[in-house]
Amino acid sequence: MDSAKLLKEISFKAVRSSGPGGQHVNKTASKAVISFTISTSQIFSSQEKLRLLEKLKHRISQDGILTITCSESRSQHRNKALAIERLISLLEKSLRIAKHRKKSRPSRNAMEKRIVSKKNHALKKANRKPPTLE
């Protein structure tokens, strides 16, 4: 994935933030909102687009736009940089193909050790009980 090409395809918007800021908070737009449309992107192949749409379906709007916001900092530039970092990491994580898990069974020795430890634990508990009067 080419970050430079990605930056050309995202749209950036600054909005008033609800975070810290003091007296100046009602005048500045420090919250960064980044929008990216996966379906019209030229960076990804059709298979990659399908994978992204499937993995990020809960984060994509009905218009097909992936939106990421950041209002951690009081600086608009810092929030924009953080939002871009989040977008890149989210896309890279979503494009990664998980390894197929091979089924395996515990070894005979491991199963025997588990059963022995369970019996020892049960004996320990049984020895704590008061003796019966019969």
Q: What is the pLDDT of residues 29-75, one digit of tens each?
A: 888 999 999 988 888 999 999 999 999 999 999 888 999 999 888 88
101-112 pLDDT, tens per residue? 999 999 999 999
CA distance 66 to 53: 10
Sequence spans of domains, the chain: 3-95
CA distance 68 to 88: 11
pLDDT given for residue 21 in this prediction: 63
Q: Give the residue, 114 or 43, on which the prediction is more confident.
A: 114
CA distance 124 to 52: 54
Say which CATH topology domain 3-95 has: Double Stranded RNA Binding Domain (3.30.160)
